[in-house]
A and B are shown apart, each in its own frame.
Chain A
Amino acid sequence: MKVLYFAWIRERVGKPEEVVEPPPEVTTVGELAAWLSQRGEEYAHAFANPQAVRAAIDRAHVKPGAAIAGAREIAFFPPMTGG
Chain B
Amino acid sequence: MKVRLQRELFDTAAEAEALSRGRPDIGAVVTFTGLCRGDENGKPIAALTLEHYPGMAEEEISRHVAEAERRWPLLGVTVIHRYGRMEPGDPIVLVVTASAHRQAAFEAAEFLMDYLKTQAPFWKREERPDGGRWVDAKAEDDAAAERWNR
* Residues of A in contact with B (beta carbons under 8 Å apart): 4, 6-8, 56, 59-61, 75, 77-83
Contact = CB atoms under 8 A, between A and B. Distances in A.
B100 interface: no
A29 B117 CA distance: 23
Given A7-B134, A81-B138, 16 more contacts: A7-B125, A56-B53, A56-B56, A59-B55, A60-B60, A75-B53, A75-B121, A78-B123, A79-B118, A80-B137, A81-B117, A81-B123, A81-B124, A82-B50, A82-B122, A83-B113
The 8 closest A-B pairs by CB, nearest first: A82-B122, A79-B137, A7-B123, A59-B56, A83-B117, A83-B116, A82-B120, A81-B124
14 contacts: A6-B51, A7-B123, A59-B55, A60-B60, A61-B119, A80-B118, A80-B119, A81-B135, A81-B136, A81-B138, A82-B120, A82-B122, A82-B124, A83-B81
Nearest to B112: A83
B53 A77 contact: yes
Contacts of B121: 6, 56, 75, 77, 80, 82
Contacts of A60: 56, 59-60
Contacts, number: 74
Nearest to A8: B134
Contact of B51 (A7, A56, A61): A7
Contacts of A81: 117, 122-124, 134-138
A31 to B, nearest CB: 22
Contact of A83 (B56, B59, B120, B134): B120
B128 to A, nearest CB: 16
Interface in B95-124: 113, 116-124
Contact of A78 (B57, B92, B134): B134
B137 A83 contact: no
B89 interface: no
Contacts of B16: none
Contacts of A75: 53, 56, 121
B47 interface: no
Contacts of B92: 83
